[in-house]
């Protein structure tokens, strides 16, 4: 029998991110991963801006930028009938090297295939002495005993049964989560958007063997509509084909991967080797609850979504960042159990919203109006190709260009944030307007010393003061009284002051605004009570 404050089940991106977040905060944890940490078949490849912001906080952004992806490879999107077939349209996007961070963030997104991304996260987690990361350990069952959880797992190498007692357990065990099943929590939403198939291939020198130019993704349209795509994996020889499929399960016995790859290439002259093929189900599902007692769900265990938009893993990493500071608060004695209830209240609506936006992207991709003449020779074929290309470029925009969703998700109704009476701004997927309205990610701006405002946030609360004469001691005293970590930061910069719009802004450890005003409330201790979760009433 061993003891650990937090037991994380699953060492994929969500589990590793939570281990890093806890390690970074000095909270000991144990990760159980049934595999050996290697990824044979990369699914994810796009690391969106919010995940890169967390990576910057953890000090590992450069590891992801320098993961080995060919950063000179251009990340355009090409719509075509096949690699050797007709070009229908293209969206121009720069390479990772040529890309600049958007003005609203200190970081830019990056391509990093999962076979490199998972090990980067796992290595970062292992660098904390407080993180015990166990391979070949499979959770078999658990029992929530009210004041602790008792987990039973199997060391699959030795056959030994290991029992672990923990304060809190987090199921980061993926879409087929056994933790979720044992808790009896249902997934709500759409269980099938399509039955899809991935084919992971090696095609040496492919980029030089066609006339479509470099692209992150080639989307194939044929008479009948969009049917497959080819996605860059390492920017060199590795690629992934995804067959979009439909709501009918594929007959895997009749499935001929070689023939599918040839159809995508549109020629027999391109050589390739099939590394692996896996069937998967595209869904839009959110767990009915993210918490039951002392057990939580995060990542794909809590929500699954169409990969159109590249939001799946990033949504799980954001779960980890939200839950991490709350577990830290409660284990260090300054948070209340209400903080843990607020995890579901904050994260569940965001997961459902991002899953819905991803499903919308999928519908947009597959809603080609009429592509029956797309292969025809002559003016009617040309007109069809033009119409399909124009439609795809319009329809695909939110898939490639979603900063409003990546950085603009907000905890508007959080019981940990105090509304300031300003109207709720619309959430525009494409266009991200930074706001310091409570419930929002605190805006990025560059400080005189070269840091981002985001670099100010992290281990505790940050009270930003834009006018040094405004009294703040009652809030600082109230925080001290409850052992709530709070740092006062004076900022004498008019541009940043106008971006934050109030003289005082209280930012949570996860970089979200909890409260703002031009002066402290008369009852400063009650503000501290709110942000440490004392007034949260569970809905579960
Ligand atoms: C084709 C495709 C492309 C995608 N592209 C992107 C993208 O570009 N960007 C993006 O953000 N997302 C993308 N996604 C989504 C992304 O892959 C997932 O959201 C992400 O992998 C989920 O991470 P996770 O850690 O929650 O779960 P997983 O990656 O599934 O990891 C779960 C881990 O738990 C372990 N485990 C399970 N049960 C147990 C047990 N009982 N005991 C111990 N260990 C256990 C498993 O071995 C596994 O390692 C894509 C998905 C698909 C299908």
For 337-370, the pLDDT digits (tens) are: 999 999 999 999 999 999 999 999 999 989 888 9
pLDDT of residue 394: 87
Contacts 24+ apart (CB under 8 A), 429-432: 429/357, 429/398, 429/402, 429/404, 429/405, 430/397, 430/398, 430/401, 430/402, 430/403, 430/404, 431/403, 431/404, 432/102, 432/104, 432/403, 432/404, 432/406, 432/407, 432/408
pLDDT of residue 40: 94
From the CA of 16, give the closest atom in ligand 1: 25
372 to 29, 369, 419: CA distances (angstroms):
56, 9, 53
* Model confidence at 522: pLDDT above 70: yes
- Is residue 521 a contact partner of residue 506, using CB atoms and an 8 Å limit? no
Tell me which residue has its CA closest to atom 2 in ligand 1.
Answer: 43
* Model confidence at 540: pLDDT above 80: no
Strands (E), 270-420: 273-287, 291-292, 295-297, 303-304
* Model confidence at 538: pLDDT above 60: no
Please tell me the distance between residue 373's alpha carbon and the centre of ligand 1 in angstroms: 39
| d(C-alpha 264, C-alpha 267), whole Å | 8
* Model confidence at 209: pLDDT above 80: yes
Ligand 1 pocket by C-beta < 6 Å: which residues? Answer: 9-15, 32-35, 43-46, 138-139, 172-174, 178, 198, 242, 280, 299-300, 307, 310-314, 316
Residues 455-489: b if buried by 16+ CB within 10 A, e if exposed: ebbbebbbbbbbeeeeebebbbebbeebebbbbbe
* pLDDT tens readout for residues 46-95: 999 999 999 999 999 999 999 999 999 999 999 999 999 999 999 999 99
Rg (CA), the chain: 24
Strand partners, 527: none
Q: Which two three-digit tokens encode residue 310?
A: 């590249």
Indicate the top mutation candidate among 173, 182, 299, 315 to test ligand 1's pocket, ranked by most ligand atoms within 8 A of CB: 173
Mean of the per-residue pLDDT values of the chain: 96
| d(C-alpha 497, C-alpha 515), whole Å | 15
pTM: 0.97
* pLDDT tens readout for residues 443-480: 999 999 999 999 999 989 999 999 999 999 999 999 99
pLDDT of residue 539: 46
């Amino acid at each position: 029998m061993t003891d650990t404050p937090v037991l994380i089940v699953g060492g994929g991106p969500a589990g590793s991110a939570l281990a890093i977040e806890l390690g970074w905060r000095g909270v000991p944890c144990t990760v159980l991963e049934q595999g050996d940490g290697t990824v044979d078949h990369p699914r994810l490849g796009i690391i969106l801006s919010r995940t890169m912001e967390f990576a910057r906080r953890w000090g590992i952004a450069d590891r992801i930028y320098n993961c080995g992806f060919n950063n000179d490879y251009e990340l355009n999107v090409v719509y075509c009938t096949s690699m050797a077939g007709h070009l229908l349209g293209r969206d121009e996007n720069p390479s990772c090297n040529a890309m600049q961070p958007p003005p609203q963030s200190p970081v830019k997104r990056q391509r990093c295939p999962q076979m490199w991304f998972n090990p980067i996260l796992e290595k970062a987690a292992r660098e904390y002495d407080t993180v015990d990361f166990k391979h070949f350990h499979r959770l078999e069952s658990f029992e929530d005993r009210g004041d602790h959880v008792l987990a039973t797992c199997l060391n699959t190498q030795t056959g030994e049964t290991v029992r672990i007692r923990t304060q809190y357990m987090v199921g980061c065990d993926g879409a087929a989560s056994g933790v979720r099943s044992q808790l009896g929590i249902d997934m709500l939403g759409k269980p099938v958007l399509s039955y899809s198939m991935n084919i992971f291939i090696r095609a040496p020198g492919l980029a030089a063997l066609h006339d479509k130019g470099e692209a992150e993704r080639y989307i194939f349209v044929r008479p009948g509509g969009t049917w497959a795509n080819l996605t860059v994996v390492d920017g060199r020889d590795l690629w992934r084909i995804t067959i979009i499929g439909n709501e009918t399960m594929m007959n895997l016995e009749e499935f001929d991967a070689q023939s599918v790859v040839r159809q995508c290439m549109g020629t027999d002259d391109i050589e390739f080797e099939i590394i692996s093929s896996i069937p998967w189900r595209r869904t839009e599902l959110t767990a009915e609850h993210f918490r039951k007692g002392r057990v939580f769900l995060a990542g794909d265990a809590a929500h699954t979504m169409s990969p159109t938009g590249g939001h799946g893993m990033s949504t799980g990493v954001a779960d980890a960042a939200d839950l991490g500071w709350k577990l830290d608060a409660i284990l260090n004695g300054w948070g209340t159990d209400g903080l843990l209830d607020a995890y579901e209240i904050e994260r569940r609506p965001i997961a459902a919203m991002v899953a819905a936006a991803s499903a919308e992207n999928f519908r947009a991709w597959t809603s080609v109006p009429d592509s029956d003449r797309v292969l025809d020779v002559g003016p009617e074929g040309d007109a069809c190709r033009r119409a399909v290309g124009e439609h795809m470029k319009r329809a695909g925009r939110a898939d490639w260009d979603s900063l409003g969703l990546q950085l603009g998700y907000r905890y508007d109704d959080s019981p940990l944030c105090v509304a300031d009476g300003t109207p709720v701004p619309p959430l525009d997927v494409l266009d991200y307007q930074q706001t310091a309205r409570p419930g929002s990610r605190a805006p990025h701006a560059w400080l005189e010393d070269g840091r981002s405002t985001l670099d100010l946030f992290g281990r505790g609360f940050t009270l930003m003061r834009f006018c040094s004469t405004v009294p703040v001691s009652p809030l600082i005293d109230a925080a001290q009284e409850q052992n709530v970590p709070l740092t006062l930061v004076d900022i004498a910069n008019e541009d940043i002051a106008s971006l934050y719009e109030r003289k005082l802004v209280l930012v949570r450890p996860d970089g979200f605004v909890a409260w703002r005003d031009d002066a402290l409330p008369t009852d400063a201790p009650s503000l501290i009570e709110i942000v440490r979760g004392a007034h949260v009433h569970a809905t579960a």
